[in-house]
Amino acid sequence: MGELTARGAPPKQDRSRATRQRLLESAVTCLAERGWSGSTVTVVAEHAGVSRGAAQHHFPTREDLFTAAVEYVAEERSAALRDLPAPGSTHAAVEQIVALYTGPLFRAALQLWVAASYEPQLGPRVGALESRIGRETHRMAVGLLGADEREPGVRETVQGLLDMARGLGLANLLSDDSARRSRVVAQWARVLDDVLGR
Amino acid sequence: MGELTARGAPPKQDRSRATRQRLLESAVTCLAERGWSGSTVTVVAEHAGVSRGAAQHHFPTREDLFTAAVEYVAEERSAALRDLPAPGSTHAAVEQIVALYTGPLFRAALQLWVAASYEPQLGPRVGALESRIGRETHRMAVGLLGADEREPGVRETVQGLLDMARGLGLANLLSDDSARRSRVVAQWARVLDDVLGR
């Protein structure tokens, strides 16, 4: 996307930014498809078509690369969601929230969270990242539902809904769970309409 | 637990059963603490104080050992739950259901599900195991809640509650989430009382 220089090539800074972005996107794809143990800097560099040296210039350690990748893709997703029109019903809002947990970003984040439970060098960084993404997702869900958290119980209702969405994502990991998921979403959207007094 | 023989040692069949049981319990502990990539037959045999040869006599492959382990511990847990007194309220029932997803068995099963998403030799076996455990857990949850699934929406309500419980288990993976969890449980138990018409 950078401006072209007089000789037709993008300036160095833009090339560097594009390389970084390709590495981050490849890192999420590799994590989602191969898990933590199969995702090394070398594997990601190859997937992105970048030399290992260039990858290490951008991300000195494996932990740097993968935590930055999950954070980057989560931010891209938040930005994309902000541009969508407001959902017209609780059911549409719940569908949008649940959809956040069925794509490659959730799969990649899940692999990272699970690896962080036994890899000491990942634990604290992923814990902090999970908190940041969790707060941002909660804020998005409140907005999509048009919920008023000053009402008693509403905060915990939204939290429980996000826990349910995370559990639905997990249930979709090994096989396509979309038929069951849409029945659960329809029922709980009706329940939420009651809880939120609609 | 076997009867002693005339010379004071348990019969061979009982020793073999005890060895098998120690291997299964060690396999769950190792999976929960070290993940799939850190859990080999050798690591489990050492943890159980059993020779590698004896471990391989019981479980020819790594996949045999770990799928049998998760299934065994899930069955032990179901049997233990059947012996508990019926919970006195929806809140107590939801607490018992959510507690199923916060201990070592959930952690071990989670490591196995996540590994199955990228290890082709695990995929189909873990998928089938997940279905069996899922059906049994659903049956238990209906019993604990005293829910009547002939009523419209009740089946999906219980399914969504189990998805929420799974998501709460995931949220507890990297840090102690018990304070937030008990607020979510209290709120959703109130919601369930309404949905189930109590």
Best CA proximity match to B160, nearest among A181, A158, A99: A181
Best CA proximity match to A186, nearest among A198, A178, A176, A175: A178
For tokens 């794509």, name the residue. Answer: A103
Lowest-confidence pick of A46-50, A186-190, B9-13, B100-104: B9-13
pLDDT of residue B6: 55
Cα-atom radius of gyration of chain B, to the nearest Å? 19
Q: Which amino acid is at A106?
A: F
Burial of B120 (0-12, 13-18, 19+ CB in 10 A): exposed
Measured in angstroms, the CA of A36 and the nearest CA of chain B are apart by 9
The enclosing H or E element of B172 equals none
Per-residue pLDDT at A5 exceeds 80: no
CB count in 10 Å sphere of residue B102: 19
Per-residue model confidence as pLDDT tens digits over B32-82: 999 999 999 999 999 999 999 999 999 999 999 999 999 998 998 888 887
> Would the CB atoms of A184 and B36 count as touching at under 8 Å?
no
> Would the CB atoms of B174 and A38 count as touching at under 8 Å?
no
Per-residue pLDDT at B2 exceeds 80: no
Q: Which residue of B has its CA nearest to A180?
A: B156
Per-residue pLDDT at B138 exceeds 60: yes
pLDDT of residue B108: 95
| Average pLDDT estimate for B102-115 | 94
Angle at A70 between CA A68 and CA A72, to 5 degrees: 65
Residues of A in contact with B159 (CB under 8 A): 180, 183-184
Q: Which of B149, B159, B177, B190 to mutate to test the interface with A (most CBs of A within 10 A)?
A: B159
Q: Which of B118, B132, B135, B161 to mutate to test the interface with A (most CBs of A within 10 A)?
A: B118
Q: Which amino acid is at A4?
A: L
Q: Which residue of A has its CA nearest to B160?
A: A184
CA distances (Å), B39 to each of A38, A154, B22, B71, B165, in order? 15, 42, 15, 17, 26
Beta strands in B7-82 (DSSP E): none
**Residue A149 or B2, more confident:** A149
pLDDT of residue B25: 96
> Would the CB atoms of A114 and B173 count as touching at under 8 Å?
yes
> Would the CB atoms of B184 and A115 count as touching at under 8 Å?
no
Per-residue pLDDT at A139 exceeds 90: yes
Measured in angstroms, the CA of B157 and the nearest CA of chain A are apart by 7
Per-residue pLDDT at A168 exceeds 70: yes
pLDDT band at A8 (very low <50, low <70, confident <90, very high): low
- Reported ipTM exceeds the 0.85 cut: yes
The HSE-up count of residue A31 (CA atoms within 13 Å, CB side) is 31
Best CA proximity match to A22, nearest among A30, A32, A33, A11: A30
Written out in words, the top-level CATH class of the domain with range A12-195 is mainly alpha
Tokens of A78: 């938040």
Per-residue model confidence as pLDDT tens digits over A61-110: 999 999 999 999 899 888 888 788 889 999 999 999 999 999 999 999 99
Q: Which residue of B has its CA nearest to A129?
A: B174
What's the whole-number average pLDDT of chain B? Answer: 92
Secondary structure of residue A136 in the 3-state scheme: helix
How far apart are the C-alpha atoms of B46 and B52, rounded to whole Å?
8
Q: Which residue of A has its CA nearest to B180?
A: A156
B59 and B23 in contact (C-beta within 8 Å)?
yes
Per-residue model confidence as pLDDT tens digits over A32-61: 999 999 999 999 999 999 999 999 999 999
pLDDT band at A2 (very low <50, low <70, confident <90, very high): very low
Tokens of B109: 């099963």
Tokens of B113: 């599900």
Residues of B in contact with A141 (CB under 8 A): none
pLDDT of residue B11: 84
For tokens 């319990």, name the residue. Answer: B25
Measured in angstroms, the CA of B182 and the nearest CA of chain A are apart by 10
> Would the CB atoms of A156 and B113 count as touching at under 8 Å?
no
B130 and B113 in contact (C-beta within 8 Å)?
yes
How far apart are the C-alpha atoms of B154 and B147, rounded to whole Å?
7
The HSE-up count of residue B13 (CA atoms within 13 Å, CB side) is 4
> Would the CB atoms of A163 and B160 count as touching at under 8 Å?
no
CB count in 10 Å sphere of residue A147: 20
Best CA proximity match to A36, nearest among A104, A107, A111, A119: A111
pLDDT of residue A6: 55
pLDDT band at B19 (very low <50, low <70, confident <90, very high): very high
> Would the CB atoms of A174 and B37 count as touching at under 8 Å?
no
Best CA proximity match to B185, nearest among A128, A95, A63, A159: A159
CB count in 10 Å sphere of residue B22: 17
CA distances (Å), A138 to each of A133, A157, A162, B100, B171, in order? 9, 11, 8, 25, 13
Domain boundaries, chain A: 12-195
Helix count and strand count (H, E) for chain A? 9, 0
Q: Which residue of B has its CA nearest to A122?
A: B174
